[in-house]
Amino acid sequence: MSTVEKSFPVSWEQFHRDARALAWRLAGMETDFKAIVCITRGGLVPAAIIARELGVRMIETVCVASYHEYTEQGRLQVLKGVSEELTADGGRNVLIVDDLTDTGKTAKIVRDMLPEAHFAAVYAKPMGRPMVDTFITEVSQDTWIFFPWDLGLTFQAPISKDSKG
């Protein structure tokens, strides 16, 4: 997270709308995806929504640990790779799904496993943007996205320091 200056909280409703918007974009493509590979954990929720909308029944996970303590990106570690069935042809007609591409480091690891796959993310930051084929919203690199599964209901301070509430 290093020099994060902005926060972007996303509600369940907004995330669902954005994931469905991503599904609409993908549905307009000429590709019939045979499988979805979601990058855990963040890709699980959008993958479920997109799989439903596109009628894809085969869902695989690739497990890459990257964020530690929510403060900085640590060393990347592949905890679980992708099945040989999906990597055999480089991932042709496979859809990779993630919630966010931040620095692009996780995306690169997965792209190396499935170089022929189509990569889609709900949100993209400038550093990670070149790694994805399709996304919905770009946010600045210094923005931290707070996903609904990471949040509880708490008071939010006003943006202006002069605001009296």
Answer for the pair 131, 13: CB distance below 8 angstroms, yes or no.
no
**Active-site option among 99, 112, 142, 162:** 99
Q: How far apart are CA 153 and CA 64, in angstroms?
A: 28
**Is 43 a known ligand-binding residue?**
no
**Is 102 a known ligand-binding residue?**
yes
- Residue 150 appears among annotated catalytic residues: no
**Is 104 a known ligand-binding residue?**
yes
**Is 18 a known ligand-binding residue?**
no
- Residue 99 appears among annotated catalytic residues: yes
Q: How far apart are CA 80 and CA 83, in angstroms?
A: 9
**What three-state secondary structure class fits 84?**
helix
**Is 20 a known ligand-binding residue?**
no
- Residue 98 appears among annotated catalytic residues: yes
Rg (CA), the chain: 16
Maximal CA-CA distance, the chain? 60
**Is 136 a known ligand-binding residue?**
no
**Active-site option among 18, 32, 89, 98:** 98
**Is 55 a known ligand-binding residue?**
no
Tokens 């929504």 correspond to what residue? 49
List, as residue ranges, the binding site for GMP: 102-106, 144-145
List, as residue ranges, the binding site: 41-42, 98-106, 144-145
List, as residue ranges, the binding site for xanthine: 102, 145
List, as residue ranges, the binding site for 5-phospho-alpha-D-ribose 1-diphosphate: 41-42, 98-106
What positions carry a catalytic annotation?
98-99, 102
